[in-house]
Chains A and B, each alone.
Chain A
Amino acid sequence: MIPASFEYRRASDLDDATRLLRELGPEAKVLAGGHSLIPLMRLRLAQPTALVDLGRVPGLDGVRVDGDRLRVGALTRHAQLAASPVVRGALPLLAAMAAEVGDLQVRARGTIGGVIAHADPAGDYPTLALMLDAEIVTTRTTHAAADFFQHIFTTPLEADEVIREIAFPVAPGPHRYVKFRRRRCDWAIVGVAAQRLDGGWRLGLTNCGPTPLRARAAEAALAQGESAAGAGARAADGLTPPSDLRASADYRCHLARVLTQRALEEATA
């Protein structure tokens, strides 16, 4: 399967990328690692008229701690995140998530900015960004994660807007991401992330709705002194997950409850 024809332009920097996107119009797409976009183009589910390749834009990858923030360049690849001593020290949950994205070959190419921009509800980093109130810094503005994941594959990014970096809070405390899937390299059927932050727990749910979600009832239960089991019992409150080939809505709710308890127990073990 071969993608439909498109015009290819390589951006030299982000200003150039913005200029090219304006010139090429709203059907142009940004190419980073290509590991969501190219498969869609091969199946012709996406047929952009042009691609603006960010692959050679200098300074768009890499991570740094800036006060109480971990700033992650949009072009940073999964394998870099998983191996980075900076990430492992400042936000080990991000390194752990990155180590379990796809397989070895996918981790060599896919980027965090690509995953965030793609906004697949089965993506792992959107869950982390949402639950930790991360900021998505773009060429136009800074978006709060809570406003960014609007619906399945839907974000407020304008046609000429490019993600520069994602700013997470530094959070080296107890954490765990439990990703339930049939094979290790699959997407999560349901994923639950737990992170201790500012004296409380943040709980995020992957693939339980059209966007990543927070298990707020379970977070509140923990704040009132509930156990992991007690919090787990509340993890599916208000949840209306999709049914698909892999899991029914009821089963997803069950998984959200069980995996929340498990994530909390393993985070504090």
Chain B
Amino acid sequence: MGERVTMTINGMSHEDEVEPRTLLVHHLRETVGLTGTHVGCDTSQCGACTVLLDGDAVKSCTVLAVQADGAAITTIEGMARGDELHPLQQAFWDEHGLQCGYCTPGFIMTAAKLLSDNPNPTDDEIKIGLEGNLCRCTGYVNILKAVRTASRRMLSGSTAASASARSSE
């Protein structure tokens, strides 16, 4: 009945037995215990469940865990380095790119893919890149700002400056 699957999740190898019908998002949340990836709409619309699968941003509610056998997965928990937030996480904080925060992990993972392909996107390119993620709180303005800020900081490598600015707030 069960299928053995092995995935490298945030740099750590995980071998588990899953039912074939287990969706990747449920595997990550319930078997591996990484609950930062959220289930939003359950209909492949909202993008709250977005993770990186071999570098691609994917909706983990629309991938079977068995399809991800052998893959490298990055979730929101794999973004920070120790206590230092990823520049996207820091920028969402600094620019108030969230209110309730439910959609935020998905936005950050999609934005990470967007910036890895296109480190200096225009506003239109950010909007198009994030079209598969829905936020019901913010009106998107500050999310756009946050991605723009993260892009600028990542290009100039100035994340240390932003971290010290935060600690002085």
What is A's interface to B at a CB cutoff of 8 Å?
A: 1-8, 10, 31, 34-35, 38-39, 41-43, 51, 53, 55, 79, 102-106, 108-109, 183-185
Bound-state Cα–Cα, A3 to B132, Å: 22
Q: Can you name the residue of chain B whose Cβ is closest to the Cβ of A7? A: B20
Bound-state Cα–Cα, A183 to B132, Å: 10
CB pair B64 A34 closer than 8 Å? yes
CB pair B42 A1 closer than 8 Å? yes
**CB within 8 Å for A55 and B23 given contacts A35-B62, A39-B43:** no
Bound-state Cα–Cα, A102 to B47, Å: 12
Bound-state Cα–Cα, A103 to B61, Å: 15
Bound-state Cα–Cα, A103 to B127, Å: 11
> How many A-B pairs fall under 8 Å by CB?
86
Q: Is B131 an interface residue (CB 8 A)?
A: yes
CB pair A106 B66 closer than 8 Å? no
Bound-state Cα–Cα, A57 to B129, Å: 29
CB pair B23 A102 closer than 8 Å? no
- What residues of A have a CB within 8 angstroms of the CB of B43 in the complex? 39, 42-43
Bound-state Cα–Cα, A229 to B122, Å: 35
Tell me the smallest distance from the CB of B26 to a CB of chain A, in Å: 7
Binary per-residue interface labels of chain B (56-88) against chain A in the complex, 1 for a CB within 8 Å, 0 otherwise: 111101111011000000000000000000000
**CB within 8 Å for A39 and B131 given contacts A3-B21, A4-B21, A104-B113:** no
CB pair B63 A109 closer than 8 Å? yes
Bound-state Cα–Cα, A4 to B22, Å: 10
Interface residues of B in 1-36 (CB under 8 A from A): 3, 19-23, 26
Bound-state Cα–Cα, A10 to B50, Å: 24
**CB within 8 Å for A38 and B131 given contacts A104-B110, A105-B58:** no
Count chain B CB atoms within 10 A of each CB in A4, A5, A105 and give the residue with the most.
Answer: A105
CB pair A103 B132 closer than 8 Å? yes
Given A39-B62, A53-B66, A185-B131, 8 other A-B contacts at CB below 8 A?
A5-B20, A6-B20, A38-B23, A103-B132, A104-B128, A105-B57, A105-B59, A108-B57
CB pair B3 A8 closer than 8 Å? yes
Q: Can you name the residue of chain A whose Cβ is closest to the Cβ of B39? A: A1
CB pair A102 B63 closer than 8 Å? no
- What residues of B have a CB within 8 angstroms of the CB of A10 in the complex? 66
| Interface residues of B, dominant DSSP | mixed
Bound-state Cα–Cα, A227 to B45, Å: 40
CB pair B47 A103 closer than 8 Å? yes
Bound-state Cα–Cα, A39 to B49, Å: 14
Contact of B56 among A2, A39, A43, A108 (CB under 8 A): A108
Q: Is B114 an interface residue (CB 8 A)?
A: yes
Q: Is B44 an interface residue (CB 8 A)?
A: yes
What is B's interface to A at a CB cutoff of 8 Å?
A: 3, 19-23, 26, 42-44, 47, 50, 53, 56-59, 61-64, 66-67, 110, 113-114, 128-133
**CB within 8 Å for A106 and B26 given contacts A38-B62, A39-B62:** no
Bound-state Cα–Cα, A1 to B58, Å: 18
The 3 tightest CB contacts between A and B, nearest first, are A103-B132, A8-B20, A108-B56
CB pair B21 A2 closer than 8 Å? yes
Bound-state Cα–Cα, A4 to B110, Å: 29
Tell me the smallest distance from the CB of A10 to a CB of chain B, in Å: 8
- What residues of A have a CB within 8 angstroms of the CB of B59 in the complex? 105-106, 109
CB pair B19 A5 closer than 8 Å? yes
Bound-state Cα–Cα, A10 to B114, Å: 31
- What residues of B have a CB within 8 angstroms of the CB of A79 in the complex? 56
**CB within 8 Å for A103 and B131 given contacts A2-B26, A42-B43, A108-B56:** yes
**CB within 8 Å for A34 and B62 given contacts A104-B110, A108-B57:** yes
- What residues of B have a CB within 8 angstroms of the CB of A3 in the complex? 21, 23
- What residues of B have a CB within 8 angstroms of the CB of A109 in the complex? 56, 58-59, 62-63
CB pair A42 B42 closer than 8 Å? yes
Count chain A CB atoms within 10 A of each CB in B20, B56, B62, B133 and give the residue with the most.
Answer: B62
- What residues of B have a CB within 8 angstroms of the CB of A34 in the complex? 62-64, 67
CB pair A106 B44 closer than 8 Å? yes
